[in-house]
A and B are shown apart, each in its own frame.
Chain A
Amino acid sequence: MLSLVNFLRQSIKASLTSLLSNKTRSFLTMLGIIIGVASVVIIMALGAGAQSLILSQIKVFGTNKIGILPGKADKNGPPASAMGVVITTLTYDDAVALRNLPHITSLVAYDNSTENSSYQDNSYITSVRGVTADYLTLEGGELSEGRFFTDAEEKSAAKVVVLGDTVVNELFNGSPAVGKIIKIKNHPFEVIGIMKKRGTVAFQNYDDMMIVPNGTMRKIVVGINYLNMIRVAVDDEKNIPEVIDEIQTTLRGQHNISDQTGNSDDFDVRDTADAIKLITTFTDALKFFLAAMAALSLLVGGIGIMNIMLVRVNERTREIGLRKAVGASNSKITLQFLIETVILTLLGGIIGAILGTIFSFLSSLIIRGLGYAWTFSISILSIILSLGVSASIGLIFGLAPARKAAKMEPVQALRYE
């Protein structure tokens, strides 16, 4: 036992010496493994970062929210309205009917469109949101100046508008905006408030939009009689299933749907948790697909290592002969070459993991510099996995050269020129 430990120690030392004595070649041999392991680590890290970014955007929005979209959708697929189909089944009356359900603390009806706006010589095309008066309560956000519109203004389709920070800059160039009249699609609107800069939350750029009363939006700006979306906030997360149930029952009553199984619904109710689950499924699939692609390069690297090791066995035939002459058994020669290959691949794996970590860290710095709440996370699992894989590659692809070395007749190996 002691002699085996000693043998292993000596073999490892000898392998390192031989690898270090030809640094360029050792490095080139390891390159495939280095690149493979680095890509696995980078892809796993960036994937995890992207996933947590997406999820955090959703969570910022709040997990007590329920969204109602027009059109029926498969629970695990995207909503029908997200596929670009205009569906007109959700109405303002639905919103009114839902507002008084228990546990619902606030409700907002939405219609969105993109319109041209102008003030004096400046014009700007941006998205216009027609919402109801509970908007600030439900979505958050603060006014930096002026006020938000009232429920009465919304119902009476008053021509008032609240501007996002970007829009104010585009139209007013820093001059005072509150109280001024701007034109949206050629209708005059009074600016009554300006939103505080908020940035992008849940993939929505809150600064680059104008907010008008929903009634005004439907009747004057776009000329429609349906809603794009209704959102409600629930008093407590644990009431969400109950509220979803009630919303479905109420809407079926509103739409004269007698089928209570959900198969005939012309609307889709989902909560934030559903969205999180859905997105996690997508991003997980993407992450592992990319990691599998990176793992392919590990395989190619392994074949490269096998090639070089076969060449090394040929180059060292006389050395193998000598080792056999002084008493090395076949199994010890095999072991020695296996050790050498595993050290080569493991070393490559370690270098790759370090490079991958450094690269992931630098990327996270750059992405954060671009203004995203990016978290740098290296999963220990991905490092252990890629090191394990590279060591296994050493074992698998090292076996053929090692056996070739061991099978040599001592005399023929000694005589080899």
Chain B
Amino acid sequence: MPLIEIKNLIKEYENGDVKTPVLKNINFTIEKGEFVSIMGPSGSGKSTLMHILGLLERQSGGVYKFNEHNVRKLDDDELATLRNEKIGFIFQAFNLLPRTTVLENVKLPLLYSTKKINGDEKAQKVLEAVGLGHRLNYFTNQISGGEQQRVAIARALINDPEVIFADEPTGNLDSKSGDQVMEILEKLNDAGNTIILVTHETNTAEHAKRIIHVKDGEIISDTLVQNRRRAGDGKLK
């Protein structure tokens, strides 16, 4: 079974009597272990697509099966549980809690989890995985932007998710920090994690194995990347 399967997916925004179609008849599947970029210019509907895939928003029509659940049939609380246990998010603006330590930020999803795991130990492990084992007790305003995004990645990893969604993860970073973030994502994918990246930059998108192009709410191409870009010095490997 594929991890993500969507058929004839439709999303419309209603404003009074006016219906604005944002996504029209989208179809694709994503298997476990894939690294997919969803690309498109702003206003193309790529962010809305990611929000629907990430269970942050509901579709208007069509079928979305996530991890064998028919999403339409789940209530808000069940969606919250799925987001908590199966999905990790990385946002462009990091979205860390202010005045809170790195460790507490990473542990945040555990607050809403029913799993019994040792939070401190696990948080330390994932922070070491993103190279921040020495920053546990720093406050989030005491570290750089690149480090903040790596904290966000660690937070996304804390519950061992099935899939990680990254929404323009390098958009607010300089190229060096951006490279570090992409390198971490690559390593996570190499280790078997499923990653779905939303971006409008070709350079960033080409770190993935597969690129889905979206324009005006429709998929215009869905291709495998021939020459994957690898983080480091920007050279092809």
B51 within 8 A of A: yes
Q: CB-CB < 8 A to A3: which residues of B? A: 113-114, 116
- The residue in chain B whose Cβ has the minimal distance to the Cβ of A332 is B112
Known: A324-B80, A326-B155. A18 touches B91 (CB 8 A): no
| Residue among A18, A326, A409 making CB contact with B84, cutoff 8 Å | A326
Contact B109 A327 (CB under 8 A): yes
B162 within 8 A of A: no
Chain A 378-412 near chain B by CB (<8 Å), digits 1 or 0: 00000000000000000000000000000001110
Kindly identify, within residues 299 to 326 of chain A, every residue whose CB is under 8 Å from any CB belonging to chain B: 318-319, 321-326
Of the stretches B28-36, B38-46, B65-73, B95-103, the one at the interface is B95-103
B64 within 8 A of A: no
Contact B76 A330 (CB under 8 A): yes
- The residue in chain A whose Cβ has the minimal distance to the Cβ of B113 is A327
* A332 to B: closest C-beta gap in Å: 6
Contact B76 A326 (CB under 8 A): no
| Residue among B80, B95, B100, B116 making CB contact with A327, cutoff 8 Å | B80
Contact B91 A414 (CB under 8 A): yes
Chain A 2-32 near chain B by CB (<8 Å), digits 1 or 0: 1100110011001001100100000000000
Q: CB-CB < 8 A to A410: which residues of B? A: 56-57
* A327 to B: closest C-beta gap in Å: 2
Q: CB-CB < 8 A to B109: which residues of A? A: 326-327
Chain A 338-357 near chain B by CB (<8 Å), digits 1 or 0: 00000000000000000000
* B58 to A: closest C-beta gap in Å: 9
**Cα distance A318–B84 when bound, in Å?**
17
| Residue among B54, B99, B116 making CB contact with A17, cutoff 8 Å | B99
Contact A322 B95 (CB under 8 A): yes
Contact A327 B112 (CB under 8 A): yes
- The residue in chain A whose Cβ has the minimal distance to the Cβ of B86 is A327
Contact A327 B84 (CB under 8 A): yes
Contact A329 B56 (CB under 8 A): no
Most B CB within 10 A of own CB, among A319, A323, A410: A410
* A393 to B: closest C-beta gap in Å: 27
**Cα distance A411–B108 when bound, in Å?**
18
Contact A323 B108 (CB under 8 A): yes
Contact B83 A327 (CB under 8 A): yes
Contact A326 B85 (CB under 8 A): no
Most B CB within 10 A of own CB, among A319, A323, A326: A326
Q: CB-CB < 8 A to B80: which residues of A? A: 324, 327-330
- The residue in chain B whose Cβ has the minimal distance to the Cβ of A321 is B95
- The residue in chain A whose Cβ has the minimal distance to the Cβ of B78 is A329
Contact B85 A327 (CB under 8 A): yes
Q: CB-CB < 8 A to B116: which residues of A? A: 2-3
Known: A324-B56, A330-B76. 6 other contacts (CB 8 A): A7-B111, A10-B111, A326-B89, A327-B85, A327-B112, A329-B76
Question: Which 4 residue pairs across A and B have the least CB separation, nearest first?
Answer: A327-B84, A326-B109, A327-B112, A329-B80
